[in-house]
Amino acid sequence: MRSNKLSRIGGFVFSAAGVLGFALLPSAAFANNPEARFEAMDTNGDGKISPDEHDAAAARMFEKMDTNADGKVTAAEMTAAFQNMTGKKAEKGELTAVEKIRVIDTNGDGVLTADEHAAGAKSMFNKMDADQDGYLTKAELKAGHQKFLHKTASASDTTSRAAQRPAD
């Protein structure tokens, strides 16, 4: 069950990361601009995102969401961060904060730790790296965003199964 769960982690991480724009620039335009998100993550300007750049961006995102600095992100914190970055609530068909947390929450307590979030980010990076060269291109990032931001029949099934699983 654990490996199956890890294979689904990417949906949460990428959808949250894509929408929040890794919390680097506080504007709705940035949050809705894949080009700007990519450029912000590509800190060395080489036109690709390395695992280290991706990990750092995910860590910044977690820090931004953890508004009370307790080392955990609740659904309420995640929802507030989304609204702060985009200026709107999640749209119909997008995963809710509770659904995103449920997919990546390895101990089933309903909140995310930095370790859970980081593990999800690593898994997502590997899933998005379509050519397995160890880097993400703009095209790979965009394709991953399109695949994981919205609910699909399989993602809905995954979320339902995750909700029914026994606590670890």
User: What sections of the chain are H helices per DSSP?
Assistant: 2-20, 28-31, 34-41, 51-65, 75-86, 97-104, 114-128, 138-148, 153-164
Torsion angles phi and psi, residue 49, rounded to 5: -110, 120
pLDDT at 51: 97
pLDDT in the model for residue 60: 92
**What domains can be seen in the chain, in order of their start residue?**
2-161 (1.10.238.10)
* CA gap 139, 62 in Å, rounded: 24
The answer to whether the CB of 99 falls within 8 A of the CB of 44 is no
Predicted TM-score (pTM) of the model is 0.72
Angle made by CA atoms 102, 136, 44, in degrees to the nearest 5? 115
pLDDT below 70 — which residues of the chain? 1-32, 148-168
How high is the pLDDT of residue 159?
43
